[in-house]
Structure 1
C-alpha cells in the first residue's frame, strides 16, 4: 500500500490512546508512532510528546516538523477546539470530524435539534438558557423521572444527572446553572429530557463522509460499584459481544440512526468523517439515541481494538480519502472484556496520586491478556498512579466467559494501595480471584457478586 513507512501521531493520554497506538503498531505500514502527551504505557511502544492534546497550534507545528503522515484524535476536547480543521488547513492528514461536525458531541443542544430535524429516534426534550424558565418548566411537569444534562462536554461522568424526583431535578439545575459546578460555559445551556428505561448499548461505526460501516456493539459499565451502584465514572469496564441482542439490531441501528446521521450531516454541509459512537438505549418503543460521541470510547476502544482484525491504519486512511467500503472492516468471532482499575476515592474530585504500582509484568505475561495504561507515570524507574482511572486489563478469548476470566486473572496480579475495580463486568465470572489487591481492604468483609457470594479476606 505504501512504499515508505508512515509516521503517526495519536492525540491523548489514556487507555484509549494506548490501545489505538498498540493497534496502529501492528500495521506493516508504520515506521514511527508518537503520542501527545501519552502515559507510561504508551512510552513502551511509542515516543511520548510533551504537548497537551488541547494545544492545537503546538500539535500542528510538531506534525509539520516531524513529517507526520497521519494524526489520530483520541479525546474529545481537541475536536471541539477545531484540531481537524487546523491540521487540514496545514495540509496534514488527520482522522476525525471537523469542528462543525463534532458538534454532535460537544453541543448536546445541537445534537438534539439535529436528531429532531432528521427523525432520528431520541428522548423528548426541552432546552433552556435561563434558570428561572427551566425551574418553571419543571414545576409544570407531572413527575420528576427526568434526565438533566449540560449541553457542553462533561468531565469524569459529570454533566448528566438521572433523576427520580422533581427535587433531584431542581437540585441538578441549581448545581449546573447557579452554582456552576462545571464552569460558566457549562452553565449557559441545559437540557431537560424524558427518562427512558431499558438496557444501554454503545454502537460504533466508521464513516468517510458518505458511507458508514459498522464496527460492532459494546456494553460498558459507567457506575463505580458492582450492581451499577454509586456515581457515574468515565467507564469501569466494557465487553463484547453483548449477549441476547436481537439478530437484526445492528442493521436496524445502521438504517435508522447511523446512516441517517451521516446523510444528514452531509446534507447540512458538514460531512462527518471519522468514528461515530452512538450511546443507545433499547426501550419497548425501539432503539433510542441517548447521546453521540465523535471519537472512540474509553474503555470500549480496548475491546474494539482487541477484536478488530483489519489494519487500523488502512481503515482510517480509507475514511480520510473517501474510499471506505465494508470490506475494509473485518471483525474477529471471539470475545473481549476490559476491567478498569481506579484510584481510591475515584470518582471524587480529590484522590491520591503517585502510588507505586506492581505486578504489571506478571499480568501482561498471561495468555490472552493485554494491559492498557490510563493514568500512569514513571519516575526514577518506578511506575506510579497519576489519575483517577489507572490501568485497564483486557482479556481476549473464544468466548466471553473465558475473556472475563483472563481479564480478572490479570487484575489479580496488579497492586497499588487502595485500588478499586468492579467485579461484575460482563455479569462477573464464577471464579473470581481469591487474593485481593493489597491495600483494598483493611479488614475481612463480605461482598456480593452478581453470580455468587464469595469471601474476601485481606492479606
Structure 2
C-alpha cells in the first residue's frame, strides 16, 4: 500500500524506519520529513496545518493510509477531516485526542470513569491569582502546574515553593508561547513514585500493549532543571513487572478504551499512558494521543511485529486478529541537543560522525537539515542515538559508545539516561 506519514521529528524518523521494513508497503511519503526520513522514503513539502493540501496530495498519489505522528494535527481534527473525505487515517478523532489536547478534559474523564490519577483543580486564565491563594493556603509542596492545552512538552511545572508557583504562573500568563495553551490552568497533587510509560495500540474496541519505557524529561543530570520534550528513554523499564503491567491494563487501559467507546468516541490509534507507579499502584500522570518522543526511538526497534500491519488492522477494527511481538532486547535512547535547549539555542552547526556509528545501533534525525551533502543542526533536539543490549547496563554502555562518535559545536546530552532503572535490577 501507499502510505503518507505526517511529521518531521525523531519519532517520525523511527516510525518511517519501522514502516519501511513492511512487506505490505509500496511507497512511503513523509511530510515534511527530515534528512533521516529521506533515507527510507520520499519527503514531501507539506504544511501539517494545511489539511486541504494534504488531501490533494493523498488523492493525487493514491495514498491508502495516512499515519499521523505529532499531536497537534490530531487535536486539530485531521482524522475527522480526512475520514469525512473517504480516506483512512491512523490516529484518534478530534474528541478522542482531547485526552492529550486538554488536561482538564483528561482529568475530568478519569475522575468520571474512576481511572486512578492525581487530585486536581481547574482555573480559568483570569483566576490565576485565586489559584495562587489556594496553593499558598494549603502549603503543600511540591505542587504541579499544567497549562491545559498543547505546549510542546514545556507547559508542566513542578513547583517546590510559593515563590516558584508565582514565578511559573506569571510565565504561563505573560509568555507568548503559552497564550493559547494556558487559557486554563490545572493544578495537580504531586504524585510520589517512579515514572513509566506504557504504549497501547487500539482499534476502538481491542487494545494491545506495544511496549513500556521510561522517559527522562528534565534537561539536567539527575532529573534537574526545566522540563523538555524528552532527553532520552530506555525500554523495557524494570519499574513495571508482569503483575504491574496487568494492573495497568485492568485499571487504566481497558477502562479508558471502554469509556471512550461508550461515549461514542472510539479511540483508534496509539494511546500513551504516562504513569506514576506509587505505593498505592499505577496512577496516570498524563495521556498522549501518539507515540512518545524519544520513547518511540527506543521501543520501535524492539518491535518484531509489522508496524504497518498493526496500524492497518487498527484502522479496520481487526486488531483482535494480530499479535504484538517484542524481541526481548533492552534499548537505550540518548537525545543529542543544542546547548541552551529548551530555551535559546544556536542552529546551523555541522554534524559529523553519524556514518561511524556501529551496525546494530541507530541514529534518528530530529532537528537537522541537509545542505550540499552535509548535515547541520536545525533544532533544539537534534539527534536520537539508540543502542541495544541483552541487559539494561549493556544497552546504556553501547549507546554512549556511539554517542561519543558524533560531534557538533554546542552539543549537549545527559550522561545518565537509563541509570535510574538499574536500581530495580538485582
Taking structure 2 as the reference length, the TM-score comes to 0.95
Partner residue, 2:388: 396
Residues 391-446 of structure 1 show CA distances to partners (whole Å, capped at 9, x for unaligned) of 1111123222222222112111111011111111111899xxxxxxxxxxxxxxxx
Q: Is the 8 A contact 2:238 2:421 kept in 1?
A: no
Partner residue, 2:353: 359
Q: Is the 8 A contact 2:34 2:43 kept in 1?
A: yes
Q: Is the 8 A contact 2:335 2:381 kept in 1?
A: yes
Q: Rg larger in 1 or in 2?
A: 1
Equivalent residue for 1:334, pick from 314, 329, 334: 329
Equivalent residue for 1:263, pick from 242, 258, 263: 258
Residues 219-256 of structure 1 show CA distances to partners (whole Å, capped at 9, x for unaligned) of 01111222112211111111112125343011100100
**SS of equivalent to 1:263:** helix
- In 2, Cα distance between equivalents of 1:14 and 1:108: 24
**SS of equivalent to 2:129:** helix
1:199-210 equivalences under 5 Å are 199-210=194-205
1:8 aligns with 2:3: yes
- In 2, Cα distance between equivalents of 1:145 and 1:227: 17
Partner residue, 1:160: 156
- In 2, Cα distance between equivalents of 1:400 and 1:53: 37
- In 2, Cα distance between equivalents of 1:127 and 1:326: 41
1:409 aligns with 2:401: yes
Taking structure 1 as the reference length, the TM-score comes to 0.89
Higher relative contact order (CA closer than 8 Å, sequence separation 6+): 2
Q: CA deviation at 1:217?
A: 1.4
Q: Is the 8 A contact 1:368 1:397 kept in 2?
A: no
1:47-62 equivalences under 5 Å are 47-62=42-57
Partner residue, 2:135: 138
- In 2, Cα distance between equivalents of 1:259 and 1:424: 34
Q: Is the 8 A contact 2:237 2:421 kept in 1?
A: no
5+ residue gaps, structure 2: none
Partner residue, 2:27: 32
Q: CA deviation at 1:180?
A: 4.2
**SS of equivalent to 2:165:** helix
5+ residue gaps, structure 1: 1-5, 431-449, 451-459
Partner residue, 2:88: 93
**SS of equivalent to 1:173:** helix
Partner residue, 1:435: none
Task: Point out 4+ residue stretches in structure 1 off by more than 3 angstroms.
Answer: 244-247
**SS of equivalent to 1:253:** helix
Q: CA deviation at 1:133?
A: 2.8
Change (3 A) 1:429 1:174: closer
Partner residue, 1:457: none
- In 2, Cα distance between equivalents of 1:382 and 1:429: 37
Q: CA deviation at 1:54?
A: 2.4
Q: Is the 8 A contact 2:313 2:322 kept in 1?
A: no
Count, aligned residues: 421
Residues 144-189 of structure 1 show CA distances to partners (whole Å, capped at 9, x for unaligned) of 421011100012x311110111222222222213x14434322310
Equivalent residue for 1:371, pick from 354, 363, 367: 363
Partner residue, 1:433: none
Q: Is the 8 A contact 2:196 2:239 kept in 1?
A: no
1:190 aligns with 2:185: yes
1:61-140 equivalences under 5 Å are 61-129=56-124, 130-140=127-137
**SS of equivalent to 1:408:** helix
Q: Is the 8 A contact 1:14 1:38 kept in 2?
A: yes
Q: Which moved more, 1:380-389 or 1:224-233?
A: 224-233
Change (3 A) 1:428 1:112: closer
**SS of equivalent to 2:248:** helix
Partner residue, 1:175: 171
Q: Is the 8 A contact 2:271 2:287 kept in 1?
A: yes
